[in-house]
Structure 1
Amino acid sequence: MTAEHQIQNDIRVALSSRGCTIFRANVGKVKMENGRWFDTGLPKGFPDLCGFRKSDGKMIFIEVKNERGRLRADQKQFAEFIEQYPVIYGVCRSVADAIKLIE
């Protein structure tokens, strides 16, 4: 089974060569040395990758899953929210899925 971070990296490289700028959205919490929690500030369910298509400036949001991965409830909620806007959103399990999404 392919690790999701490897699929993310492969997608970033492939889409970059196809006229897109794609960033990895690091999300989560970590406990700091002083005992306080640091939160990235992105909303729960925010996709793994985001960026834009240079040809028209259209925003891209990609949730990356491996062959067996499933969307969590907060990821489904984000998908429902973002799909009401004129952006590109999709769940991709491979580079081929991501290329299809942006074309």
Structure 2
Amino acid sequence: MSNTPESKVLRACLKFLEDMGFYAWRNGVGAIQIRPGQFYRFGKPGSSDILGVLPGGKVLAVECKADKGRLSDIQKEFLKAVESLGGVVVVARSTKDIEKILCERGYLKTGILNFGE
């Protein structure tokens, strides 16, 4: 994983979810060249950086962004689809964004920690 501001947010969010005992993983989307002019594509375009399953079976979709990062239209569509089907979505610029949503939804107790960035 690179060392961009967005990748730092992603690593911090994955660690936060792991430390809190949630079942979540890095969701890769992209393509690799397998021979000249031929690519193998993987993942669903627009799907979130982190996916997981919350207690009770709800899907968690976390899109990690740097401070000034913006969602693409396809990312917005993915998050809207997950939310419309009852999933929990977060656009995370820090772990505090995940903590806030999970507290609001009753998956964490408010103020249980002041998690570092």
TM-score range, shorter chain: 0.7 to 0.9
Superposed, which structure 2 residues align to 1:53-64 within 5 Å? Answer: 53=54, 55-64=55-64
Count of residues paired in the alignment: 100
Q: Paired residue for 1:15, among 17, 20, 23?
A: 17
Report what 2:92 is aligned to: 92
Runs of 5+ unmatched residues, structure 2 = 104-117
C-alpha distance in structure 1 between counterparts of 2:67 and 2:9, whole Å: 10
Aligned alpha-carbon RMSD (Å): 1.6
Question: Normalising to structure 2: TM-score of the pair?
Answer: 0.77
Superposed, which structure 2 residues align to 1:18-57 within 5 Å? Answer: 18-33=20-35, 35-40=37-42, 42-53=43-54, 55-57=55-57
Query: Any idea what the Cα deviations from partners look like across 1:5-47, whole Å, max 9, x if unmatched?
Result: 111111111111112021001111121136421101x222100
Q: Given that residues 15 and 99 in structure 1 are in contact (C-alpha distance below 8 angstroms), is that contact kept between their aligned partners in structure 2?
A: no
Report what 2:106 is aligned to: none
Superposed, which structure 2 residues align to 1:62-77 within 5 Å? Answer: 62-77=62-77
C-alpha distance in structure 1 between counterparts of 2:24 and 2:101, whole Å: 13
Question: Normalising to structure 1: TM-score of the pair?
Answer: 0.86
Runs of 5+ unmatched residues, structure 1 = none
Query: Any idea what the Cα deviations from partners look like across 1:24-79, whole Å, max 9, x if unmatched?
Result: 01111121136421101x222100000122x4332210011010100111111112
C-alpha distance in structure 2 between counterparts of 1:52 and 1:45, whole Å: 18
| Structure of higher RCO (CA pairs closer than 8 Å, 6+ residues apart) | 1
